[in-house]
A and B are shown apart, each in its own frame.
Chain A
Amino acid sequence: MFLEIDQLTMQFGGLVAVNNVSISIKKGEIHGLIGPNGSGKTTIFNVLSGYYKPTGGKVSFEGRTISGLPAHQITAAGFARTFQNMRLFKTMTVLENLLVAMGHHAKVGLLQEILNPVAVHREEEKFVEKAMDLLDLLEVADFANELATSLPYGNQRRVEMARALATDPKVILLDEPAAGLNEVETEDLRKTLMKIRDLGVTIFLVEHDMKLVMEICEEISVLDYGKKIAEGTGAVISKDPVVIEAYLGQEEDK
């Protein structure tokens, strides 16, 4: 299996945020992860990207256990992510944001980096070229030299995705990429996601916009109170009484 979340449990003190969840993700698919607020979606992402060590179960990727590895090693293994609340580096330009993400591909050693400006320059040119390609792909190349956080919201989202792609991932974890976007922007996002998939990158998507999820995800897992309650294609999920119940319950809470 490509990416296997195996009986994952994440406990904080007495609070069980994720309870014995297993999800399999195939290479190249767009896999959705949905569920009411506080159902443990972001926690799963945080385990996957190495922020938390799971208290039970494991995550294996291409046959290798990756849960518990430090975050930068997980990134090196081929995981990249975006954040719900967008976390671009605030003092950096768009281009610099991407260059940070490429840093771990550098072949030039650290000492050389300080003492051999020529080699550094050559490598940097390659990186810049690649970064510009990604920015082109996501249609934000025009802003390469602007402060990333000064861009409008929708473009910041694109830059964040470009930054994640710059780590050269096999899997990209997108945490609510449609949050705060209007309809037109969401449609653009859909196209962007297709482009990312066409690069051969597997997409694992947490999203509240059901229309988007149903449209693009080949497989959807549903969480409620930290447990997986359903799994299947959009058509199956939308008819599942347990899922409807979980969402209706949430509506009543509001």
Chain B
Amino acid sequence: MDITSIFIQTIIGGIGIGSLYALVALGYSMTFRSMGLVNFAQGSIYMVGTYFGIIWYRGMVLGLHVPYAAAFFIGLLCNALLGILLERIFRPLAKLDLMLMLLATIGLSFILDNLFTIIFGAEGFAVDSPLPSTPWIIYGIRVLPQMALLIGVSALLMIGNHLFLSKTKLGMAMRASAVDFEIARTMGIATNRMNALALSIGCMMSAAAGILAAPIVYVAPSMGAAVGLKGFAAAVLGGLGSIPGAIAGGLAFGVFEAISAGFISSQWTKAIAFIVMVVVLMVKPSGIVGEITIEKV
């Protein structure tokens, strides 16, 4: 195998894992722009969403073996409901200062992580892909079918999300509500409901990421911590609150991680990724896609 195909293969792997980060980053950004809070429990929500879908697929509920696609939608639906519940929990938080918000969401992730450990045990499990496990070989480049599915469906979800926000009436109302609370209210937009919708979408994206990635990664109640942190890093990298930023940030983070793992050192992958994020933030605090903001004095 020549160096070019190894490189391309690495990039594809990076895009795959990057899609995962991008979907989780979307969750952060949707919450941040609608309610102005950073939800540190997003990683746990990703984990919870994964379980909500995968337990049906693996026949862990009443021994039912539900098809993968159906399990996928069940997971999304459950997390959508979770999003609505979260909006209710977060509503009183939106007025508090940042440190308190952060702590409350950390508390929430404590609750979710440990509840799921109690229910499912700390031990995780591997999940079989619904697609063949032998990789496709295209021009000498090996691609796992599940990886292709992850990339494809993620892309569809991101495009769908974009179309929803920019082309539908509801999506535009949601954006208005995110931009200016007061104006939206006077226009008769129910901001609480818009926030609930935004959070639901964010939670669904996280569930989708988890269920799509489950056959590639390992499923365990502790799976959310690392992905949550990286998803946040991706969101910040792209410019927190920006939807295209979350996607760009996620993909950039994933690709960068894959390249540094493949060509520099796998041990230092995480460290290098974090250092890059810190450097980007220092150079451009508003993120790679974010706009310039003048600090108000």
In the complex they form, whether A and B have CB atoms below 8 Å apart is answered with yes
Q: Contact at A46–B297, with CB atoms within 8 Å?
A: yes
B237 to chain A, nearest CB (A): 23
**Least CB separation from A84: chain B residue:** B297
Within 8 A of A (CB), among B62-96: none
Q: Contact at B297–A13, with CB atoms within 8 Å?
A: no
Q: Write out, one digit per residue, whether chain B residues 224-261 have a CB within 8 A of any chain A CB (1) or not (0).
A: 00000000000000000000000000000000000000
Contacts of A51 in B (CB 8 A): 297
Task: Please give the number of chain B residues whose Cβ is less than 8 angstroms from any Cβ of chain A in the complex.
Answer: 3
B271 to chain A, nearest CB (A): 33
**Least CB separation from A49: chain B residue:** B297
Q: Classify the secondary structure of B's interface with A.
A: loop
B294 to chain A, nearest CB (A): 6
Q: Contact at B294–A12, with CB atoms within 8 Å?
A: yes
In angstroms, Cα B295 to Cα A51, docked, is 10
**Least CB separation from B295: chain A residue:** A51
Q: Write out, one digit per residue, whether chain A residues 5-24 have a CB within 8 A of any chain B CB (1) or not (0).
A: 00000001100000000000
**Least CB separation from B292: chain A residue:** A13
B202 to chain A, nearest CB (A): 32
B286 to chain A, nearest CB (A): 14
In angstroms, Cα B294 to Cα A13, docked, is 10
B18 to chain A, nearest CB (A): 32
B90 to chain A, nearest CB (A): 25
Contacts of B294 in A (CB 8 A): 12
A41 to chain B, nearest CB (A): 13
In angstroms, Cα B139 to Cα A19, docked, is 62
Contacts of B292 in A (CB 8 A): 13
In angstroms, Cα B185 to Cα A165, docked, is 44
Within 8 A of A (CB), among B271-297: 292, 294, 297
Within 8 A of B (CB), among A11-65: 12-13, 46, 51
In angstroms, Cα B112 to Cα A40, docked, is 52
Contacts of B297 in A (CB 8 A): 46, 51
In angstroms, Cα B292 to Cα A13, docked, is 10
Contacts of A46 in B (CB 8 A): 297
Contacts of A12 in B (CB 8 A): 294
B97 to chain A, nearest CB (A): 11
B257 to chain A, nearest CB (A): 34
**Least CB separation from A15: chain B residue:** B294
In angstroms, Cα B297 to Cα A51, docked, is 8
A84 to chain B, nearest CB (A): 10
**Least CB separation from A52: chain B residue:** B297
In angstroms, Cα B294 to Cα A51, docked, is 12
**Least CB separation from A13: chain B residue:** B292
In angstroms, Cα B297 to Cα A46, docked, is 8
Q: Write out, one digit per residue, whether chain A residues 176-209 have a CB within 8 A of any chain B CB (1) or not (0).
A: 0000000000000000000000000000000000
Q: Write out, one digit per residue, whether chain A residues 131-172 have a CB within 8 A of any chain B CB (1) or not (0).
A: 000000000000000000000000000000000000000000
B118 to chain A, nearest CB (A): 40
B56 to chain A, nearest CB (A): 51
B244 to chain A, nearest CB (A): 21
In angstroms, Cα B252 to Cα A50, docked, is 37
In angstroms, Cα B297 to Cα A12, docked, is 14
A residues in contact (CB < 8 Å) with B? 12-13, 46, 51
4 smallest CB-CB distances across A and B, nearest first, come from A51-B297, A46-B297, A12-B294, A13-B292
4 pairs, CB–CB < 8 Å, chain A vs chain B: A12-B294, A13-B292, A46-B297, A51-B297
